[in-house]
A and B are shown apart, each in its own frame.
Chain A
Amino acid sequence: MAHGSLRPIKISFDSLAGVDGSARFSFGDTCTALASVSGPIAARPASEHPARATVEVHVRPLSSVPGTAEKLLGSAFKGIIESACLLGQHPRTLIQVVVQALSQPSSALVAAKINACSLALVNAGSIPMRGVVCAVVVGLRTDGNKTEFILDPEDETRLDGTFCFALLFGIISGSFQGKIPPSEVVWMNSRTYKGTSISLDTHKFKLATELARTGATEVWLRMRESLGGFPSTADGEEEMEV
């Protein structure tokens, strides 16, 4: 069974000096991340690519210096950003993303970091994007034979495991009907808390994915609202007669 709702989302654009775009995203009060983007800027000759832009993501933890875990997250976010941006329009340049954790580590913080990156990229406005990536966490609790999925759980230590889903909302395939663009999962990370491994069949995994999709849709609507769009535009969008 699947249930749960997102904690209140807070989005703000800090207008950090020295960078091209920045944004802050939080789930509730205890899970905040700040991201900044600069690009397209000059790339080091060693890292420039002749046909597309290079993406570099630096993840900074709340305390102490970045370590292996941050490096791993950085390379995961690089893949996510590369799937969302049209990099071929700016060859031999660099898009530098810096993500700063502002809360204690958790799966939800990873989701907040991904959302902050997406918002910072849209805020920068200089890198063309095919869509916006929204991420949420789905928690898992097993009770004998029953599995329960909870959207955006507040206390992760009480669960058996968590999944962090990142979905790209954009026109990738299919037709666009209604106000919300189609989404597809571009990244998924999972972890267990009790030390035992968990196995899920495809049906249950699909339940988790769909629960994540509803959560990510809400994140997308809040992002759109924060950027100046209105979540409840009137139906009947004018036909673009060209």
Chain B
Amino acid sequence: MRDRCQECPLPHVNLKLGPGLSELSVARGSGKGSSSQQTVVATRAGILNHSSNRSKWWVEGNSRRYVPAPQESVIGVVSGRSGENWRVDIGAAHPASLDGLAFEGATKRNRPNLKVGSVLYARVSLAHKDMEPELECFDAQTRKADGFGELKGGFVTHCSLQMSRLLLDPKHFLLPLLGSRFPLDVAVGLNGRIWVSTKEAKQTIAVVRCVEAVDPDGGGMDEVSVKKFLGEMEL
């Protein structure tokens, strides 16, 4: 829970506060002697983590609603068009804007052919609380597609945000376990959406059911139970 609502005055310039931590002005004393001091306060329930050199701190909690943050990879669904840009739904409060030319090798004459309902894997390039989020379909440094772009076919399912972070961790057991059973194409968006593409429908259903079972929100099944669960399905 709000692990240690501890006070921590901010003397250090290098301290970076991640999600779940905020600087708040706290009044000290009362009446005439009061003065305001900046204090670090946890604003979400979860486990307090820090980087190895103790310069970055954050609270690891779980939630279902995505709040856009820059440089995060998300799965979006095109919901409309406004001029040159596409309106993409990424599950946040506001729809995101994707420039029609924000693809690798796109020119005015050679544009990707998107439609309303197309599924995309994109990177959030701009996420500010006062502005609509913006997406791009290429890697920031290399300017190449690198997996971003339209995802054709497949099936999109939802999960909690912590589950998407777990799936993106190379040490997590689930995706390698499923990949060892059948060929699998998966894209994981940090906005709680997963795109799955397999040869047979029952394999897609198996993936979706396993993701739901392993989700910390829906029970948090461990590896042994998942193996048993998969064994019960006729794959």
CB pair B7–A175 under 8 Å, yes or no, is yes
A227-242 to B contact mask, C-beta < 8 Å, 1/0: 1110000000100111
Determine whether A159 belongs to the interface, using a CB cutoff of 8 Å to chain B.
no
Least distance between A236 CB and chain B CB atoms (Å) = 12
Instruction: Let me know if B2 is at the binding interface, CB within 8 A.
Output: yes
Cα distance A240–B62 when bound, in Å?
Answer: 23
B26 interface hit (Cβ, 8 Å) = yes
Listed stretches B38-46, B114-122, B135-143; interface member: B38-46
Complex alpha-carbon distance, A42 and B92, angstroms: 8
Shortest beta-carbon distance from B77 to chain A in Å: 15
Contact A91 B43 (CB under 8 A): no
Whether B8 is near chain A, meaning CB under 8 Å from some CB there, is yes
Q: Report the separation of the CA atoms of residues A130 and B55 in the bound assembly, to the nearest whole angstrom.
A: 23
Q: Are A176 and B44 in contact (CB under 8 A)?
A: no
Residue B93, interface by CB 8 Å: yes
Q: Which of A41, A176, A241, A242 contacts B65 (CB 8 A)?
A: A41
B interface secondary structure, majority: loop
Residues in A neighbouring B20, C-beta threshold 8 A: 128
Judging by beta carbons under 8 Å apart, are A241 and B1 in contact? no
B224 at the interface (CB under 8 A from A): no
B1 touches A228 (CB 8 A): yes
Q: Which of A40, A128, A176, A224 has a CB less than 8 Å from the CB of B7?
A: A176
SS class of chain A's interface: helix, strand, loop or mixed? loop
A207 at the interface (CB under 8 A from B): no
CB distance A126 to B65 under 8 Å?
yes
Interface residues of B, count at CB 8 A: 39
Q: Is B3 an interface residue (CB 8 A)?
A: yes
Whether A240 lies near B8 (C-beta < 8 A) is yes
Return the chain B residue nearest A18 by Cβ: B64
Please report the C-alpha to C-alpha distance between residue A86 and residue B46 in the assembled complex, in whole angstroms: 17
Provide the bound-state CA to CA distance between A124 and B161, in Å: 11
Q: Chain B contacts of A227 at CB under 8 A?
A: 1, 45
A163 → B minimal CB distance (Å): 25
Asked if B217 and A15 make an inter-chain contact with CB atoms under 8 angstroms apart, the answer reads yes
Cα A106 to Cα B43 with chains together (Å): 32
B6 contacts the other chain (Cβ, under 8 Å)?
yes
Are the CB atoms of A240 and B6 closer together than 8 Å?
yes
Q: B12 to A242, Cβ gap below 8 A? A: yes
Decide if B93 touches A93 in the complex (CB within 8 Å): yes
B24 within 8 A of A: yes
Known contacts being A125-B63, A130-B43, A237-B4, is A86 close to B22, with CB within 8 Å? yes
Interface string of A14-54 (1 = CB under 8 A from B): 01000011000000000000000011111100000000000
B93 adjacent to A129 (CB under 8 Å): no
Query: How many angstroms from the CA of A143 to the CA of B6 in the assembled complex?
Result: 45
Q: Mark A209-235, 1 if CB is under 8 A from B, else 0.
A: 000000000000001100111000000
Interface contact B2-A229, CB-CB below 8 Å: yes
Q: Say yes or no: B65 contacts A124, CB within 8 Å.
A: yes
Contacts of B4 in A (CB 8 A): 237, 240
Q: Does A122 contact B (CB under 8 A)?
A: yes
Q: Which residue of B is nearest A228, CB measured?
A: B1
Docked complex Cα distance between A90 and B18 (Å): 16
- CB-contacts of B208-235 with A (<8 A): 217-218
The CA-CA distance from A170 to B39 in the complex, in Å, is 12
- Find the A residue at minimum CB distance from B57: A242
28 A-B residue pairs with Cβ-Cβ distance under 8 Å, sorted by A, are: A15-B218, A20-B63, A40-B92, A42-B94, A86-B22, A89-B129, A90-B67, A92-B93, A92-B94, A93-B94, A125-B46, A125-B64, A126-B64, A126-B65, A130-B43, A132-B2, A170-B5, A171-B5, A173-B30, A174-B28, A223-B1, A228-B45, A229-B1, A237-B4, A237-B6, A241-B54, A242-B54, A242-B55
- Nearest 10 Cβ contacts at the A-B interface: A229-B1, A125-B63, A128-B43, A126-B65, A93-B93, A227-B1, A173-B27, A126-B63, A20-B65, A40-B93
**Partner-A contacts on B (CB < 8 A):** 1-8, 12, 15, 20, 22, 24, 26-28, 30, 39, 41, 43-46, 54-55, 57, 61-65, 67, 92-94, 129-130, 217-218
